[in-house]
Every structure is written in C-alpha cells, then in structure tokens.
Structure 1
Amino acid sequence: MARPIWSGALTFGLVSLPVRLHSATESHTIRFRQLERGTSDRIRNKHVNERTGAEVAAEDMVKGLETDGTYVVVEPDELDEIAPGRSRTLEIDGFVDLDEVDPIYFDRTYWLAPKGEEYAKTYALLHEALSRTNRAGIATFVMRNREYLVAVKAEADVLAVHTLHWADEIRDPKEELSPVPGKRRLPEKELKTAVKLVETLDMEWHPEEYRDTYRERVLELVEAKAKGETYEKAEQPPQATDVVDLMDALQRSVDEAGERRGRGGKGRGKGSKGRKKPEGGLEELNKKQLYERAAHAGVPGRSTMNRDELIEALGKAS
C-alpha cells in the first residue's frame, strides 16, 4: 500500500475526523534519458552558482523571492511557522451542489481514508450524507508549502478530494482565443444533421476501454529500433472540412455511423443489439487482451482501434 502524502484532520462544523490523503492516480508517461549523441553517456543537470559557475550543495540552497531588485531569503522552518494549524487541518467551510461546480475548476484527485478503524463511523456518516445530497464539501488546507482549494465528495465507497483551481487561475477565453467563436445563426438543415450525428454516435462511458495509444506506439517504435526493424508510421491527420462541403460531410458521417452501428461497431445504441457474436470467445475478452491478440496476429492499425473494432478485425483475421 502506498504511503499517504498528507495526514491531518478533516473538520466540518464541530466534528473533527483524523484522515490520510493518498494519490488516486499514477502516471505511465514514458520518460527518456538525455544522452550525448553517438554515445550511451547520460547527461546530468547540476546546480551551479550563476555568478561563479561553482556547483552548490543541496544543504547550501535556500528559497528566495525577488522584491524591488533584491532577494528575501525564506528558510523552510519559517514557512512551517506561519501556518502550523493550516498544514494539519482540512477545514470544510460549507457544502455546495456538485452541479454548480464547473469542471474547468477540477485539477487532481486524491483518496481520503480514516486514520484508524475507530474513526470509520464518522467517515461513513460523512460519505453517506454527501452521497444522498449530491453535495461536495469545499475546503482549504496547506500541503508542501502550498495552500489548496479542494472539493470533498463521495465516490463509490470512499471519500475523494479534488484539488480545484483558484478563480484567478482560470483564463478568460475571450482574451485567450482569436477569433472568439461566439454564437452565430446556423442553417437549420446543417444543425439538425449535426444533432443527428451526435445522437447516432451516442455511447456509454466505459473508461477502461480507452488507453494511451501514443505510449504504445512509442514502445513499438523503441522495440522495432532495438531489433533493427522498420516501424509502422502513423497516417497523416485529416484535412479541415471545407465550409462548402460541410453538409455533405455531416450527412456521410451520419450514414457511416449508422452502418457501423448496424454491424455492431462503435456506438452502443439499439443497432448493436442482436448482432452475431464472433467466434473464438472474443466478446468475453477485455480490450487489453484483444489488443494483445491483435498484436500477435499482426493486425494493422490496431493501436487506434476501439474494442468493437478490434473484435471485428480479429474476426476477419481468423
């Protein structure tokens, strides 16, 4: 079990609940080493004095903030002294309807656990209350010398803490985008066809069916280069749809989506029911197992396929 990254007390009203905070996600990003070209020699970064060029030891490095052209040095213990309570308390100010929190405010997610079995009842009471009311507790706390605004909400069986962006961290799209799309009058025929396309591509949300295909392609590239083999290059991105051809592109998209659904392809509407199951028990496999079979069978384009497309491709390959 992973060690908690923070521990303290979750408070709401006069209730104080000792808790531990754990990371809810982990990164699978491929991290390359920096090497000198033509060698296997690693390149390392060093902390050096900008003026003298001399290397500086970790114990001799301090934090400093520039003000009026000079630096004010702040020691680690001084940062702890200004917020001893805040760094040990996750204080809920109130509870809001989850539907009122714009998704743009959400940042990272953590799991919250009670510190011991003796606190399980209080933990369960808060979890059930939040679940029944569809509300989240808005709180602030200090972790690693930084204050966080968070939403405490009930997930399936546990409490989750979602860090939120501060209001002044949200960029105004009118200032960032050029041109700003805005609202405009749209041809009713094109709009109805676009709505039909969205409805035709309706599907259920199954996050386990999605994976980092770029990471897989990178690993395939590395494996191929290690063996001295050629590697499959990706297709070029599609050209932008011309405004003149927009209606035609929309209609063809609707037709193709309907055909795929009829064949049991992408989409989970009525058209996918009653289709003939492929042989070999492919329907019983998860997406990872299907992908492994597709890799073994040498199915081209497998890294961009969803689960239903993998089943169809493997059925043809067999």
Structure 2
Amino acid sequence: MARAVWSGVLTFGLVTVPVQLFSATDSHTIHFHQLQRGTADRVRNKRVNERTGDEVPLEEIVKGYETGDGEYVIVEPEELDDIAPGRSRSIDVSGFVELKDVRPVFFDKTYYLGPKGEEYGKVYTLLHDTLAKADKAGIATFVTRNHEYLVALKAEAGILTLHTLHWADEVRDPRKEIDALPGRHKTNDRELRMARQLIDTLSMDWKPEEWHDTFQEKVAALLKAKQEGQEVEKSAPPPKSTNVVDLMEALQASVEHARSPKASSDKATASGGSKKGRSKPSSGKKRTPSKQATKRPDLQDLTKAELYRHATDADIQGRSSMNRDELINALSRGHAPHKARAA
C-alpha cells in the first residue's frame, strides 16, 4: 500500500471532505554511480570554495543572489524560513473552469486524491461525478515543502486527481523561443488529402499498456551484455528530413506501406485480432510459381515509392533515410524482391 504524501481537507464552497494525496507516477529510470575509470572507486561531489579550493562545511554556506558585477545579496536560510508560506492543511477550490481551456503545457505532476475514510465516500463521489458530467476542473492553490503550487482538481475514471500546474509566467512563448519557427505555408488539397489518408490509415485505439520505454530496456540489455562479455548492436542512425520535393512521394509511399498486407498483419497481431477474408483456405496442392512471377523486376524502372515498398518488404535498415539511388543499391545487394508488385 502506497504511503500518503499529504493529508488534509478539500473544500469547495461550504462542503469539506478529508482527503489524502498519493503520487500517481513512479520513475523506472536506471540510476548509475560515478566511478573513476579503471577502478571501483566512487566519485563524490564536494562543496568547494572556488577561490581557495578548500571544502566548505554545510553550516558555513549561505545563499547569495547575484545583482551584477560580482555583487551578491546575502540571504540566511532562516530568513527564507521566516517568509515561507505555512504548509497547507486544506485545498480550497477557488472556482471551476472548463477543462478544455487549460492547455496541456500547464500540467506538471499528477497526484491521486482519495478520501481519508469510508464515511466520506459519498461527498467524494458526489464531487467526482459532478466534475465528470460538467467536464470542468477545480482551480486552487496549495502549499507544501515551502513551495506554493497552482493546482487543478479533475475527475478521472472513478477517482479525483490533483495536477500541479505551471504558473502563467513559467510558460514560454514559442514565437519568442524558436527562431526557425515557420510562418503559415500554403498546402494544396492533394497534399492535405494524402496526409489525412495517412493519418486515417495509421489511426488506432489508445492503449498505454502497449507502450514501454525501449531505451531503458536497451540500457538493461547493455548492462547484461557487458556482464556476460558480449556486445550490443548500436541503434540505427535517425532518418534524414523529408524535403518539399519528395513530400508527396513520401506521403504516397507511407500510405501504401500502411495499407500493405504485412503492415496490416503486424497491426492485427499486435492488437490480438485478425482480418477476415485476408486469405483463402488452402486446397492442399502446392503451386509452382511461374517464371514470370519469379522474375526480378528492373529496379531502374521502379519509382521511389515502389523501391521504398520493396525495401520495406526486404526489411532494409535505414530505408526511410535513403534516396532513390541508395534504395536501388541496397536492393541490388541481394535484397531485391522476388516478385514484382503492381504500381
């Protein structure tokens, strides 16, 4: 059973319900110690006076705010404690806003909020159901660990959740932060239609349990391989950017690949389902392919989209970053498909 990180009361209007706060997420990051190369000696961080090089005891350290030209305003730890807001014993909802009006960029950390006892279940359930039907979020401020937080109270799948929010002045303006942010570019109907086809073809149900941290898995595999004296294959380089000239060709190839039987089969296998009518029952007789069917196509006669499709069937690594000539060379090195597809 998880331990509550805070307990107090939740109030909205004249209604009060005792609640407890629990962390909603947990990190599975693999942590490392720092060692000196060639040894098993741990490397420790020390507080060192950068002028003298001497280590400074913790009790002799004060905080300094730099005002410029090497000048500092010195603040003692006790002075910060004197002005710090007291730890909240209540979460007072100031009002309720439309949930859609709170942009995702404002959300920071999530907590579960549970009633402190079964006798408070009805009030808790009433607030949850009302928020869920109204599609609204309660906004409040909350103080803990000498920090004041702006929070949003939401109803999610039978439980109340509390989300810490960034303050408005903490959210950066992308137009000021990104120098290369483009203006509005004109797109034609054909490009929009093809891009929409790709999105529709790749649409799927949101099942978060099917997604996992592949990097942490590779880190764990790296550690295991090094323990066993083996080597781990490096990741493929990232694909090259799609230029404007190849945009429609890349979209067309993407749609055709997503609609291919292999991609559909992989998708059906991943979801545990199958497609009806995909193949006919076998008659028990083996069919010998004709010479025409087994004749390799002339790669030079194929479009880039057709080459990319063949490279996908051949599972050629790095194909998404290859140009037409590179695809031809890769397919020519013993990877050319045995059966030509219709364009």
- Range into which the TM-score falls when normalised by the shorter chain: 0.7 to 0.9
Q: TM-score, normalised by structure 2?
A: 0.73
**Number of the residue aligned with 2:24:** 24
**Counterpart secondary structure, 2:276:** coil
**Number of the residue aligned with 1:226:** 227
**Counterpart secondary structure, 2:267:** coil
Give the counterpart letter for 2:91 in structure 1. Answer: L
Question: Is the Cα–Cα contact under 8 Å of residues 198 and 251 in structure 2 kept in the other structure?
Answer: yes
**Number of the residue aligned with 1:236:** 237
Query: Post-superposition shift, 1:70?
Result: 2.4
**Counterpart secondary structure, 2:265:** coil
- Establish whether residue 8 from structure 1 lines up as the match of residue 8 from structure 2: yes
Long gaps (5+) in structure 1: 278-299, 302-318
- Establish whether residue 274 from structure 1 lines up as the match of residue 273 from structure 2: no
Aligned counterparts of 1:117 and 1:77: Cα–Cα separation in 2: 39
Residues 208 and 67 (structure 1 numbering): CA distance in 2 closer, same or farther, change over 3 Å?
same
Long gaps (5+) in structure 2: 280-314, 317-343
Aligned counterparts of 1:46 and 1:99: Cα–Cα separation in 2: 47
**Counterpart secondary structure, 2:139:** strand
**Counterpart secondary structure, 1:87:** coil
- Range with bigger deviation, 206-215 or 259-268: 259-268
**Counterpart secondary structure, 1:229:** coil
**Number of the residue aligned with 1:70:** 73
Give the counterpart letter for 1:185 in structure 2. Answer: K
**Number of the residue aligned with 1:47:** 47
Query: Post-superposition shift, 1:25?
Result: 0.3
- Establish whether residue 140 from structure 1 lines up as the match of residue 141 from structure 2: yes
Give the counterpart letter for 2:147 in structure 1. Answer: R
- Establish whether residue 38 from structure 1 lines up as the match of residue 38 from structure 2: yes
Larger radius of gyration: 2
**Number of the residue aligned with 1:257:** 258
Residues 50 and 233 (structure 1 numbering): CA distance in 2 closer, same or farther, change over 3 Å?
closer
User: How well do the aligned residues superpose, as a CA RMSD in angstroms?
Assistant: 2.8
Give the counterpart letter for 1:147 in structure 2. Answer: E
Deviations for 1:193-246, whole angstroms, at most 9, x for unmatched residues?
Answer: 111111111111000000000111111111111111121221111111122111
Query: Post-superposition shift, 1:180?
Result: 1.7
Question: Is the Cα–Cα contact under 8 Å of residues 110 and 161 in structure 1 kept in the other structure?
Answer: yes
Question: Is the Cα–Cα contact under 8 Å of residues 7 and 20 in structure 2 kept in the other structure?
Answer: yes
Give the counterpart letter for 2:20 in structure 1. Answer: R
Residues 262 and 36 (structure 1 numbering): CA distance in 2 closer, same or farther, change over 3 Å?
closer
Number of equivalenced pairs: 275
**Number of the residue aligned with 1:285:** none
Question: Is the Cα–Cα contact under 8 Å of residues 62 and 75 in structure 1 kept in the other structure?
Answer: no
Q: TM-score, normalised by structure 1?
A: 0.78
Question: Is the Cα–Cα contact under 8 Å of residues 84 and 146 in structure 2 kept in the other structure?
Answer: no
Deviations for 1:61-99, whole angstroms, at most 9, x for unmatched residues?
Answer: 6763527522121328834x7533x62221111111111
Query: Post-superposition shift, 1:42?
Result: 0.8
* Map 1:1-318 → 2, pairs under 5 A: 1-49=1-49, 53-56=53-56, 60=59, 64-66=63-65, 69-75=72-78, 78-79=81-82, 82-84=84-86, 87-260=88-261, 263-266=264-267, 273-274=275-276
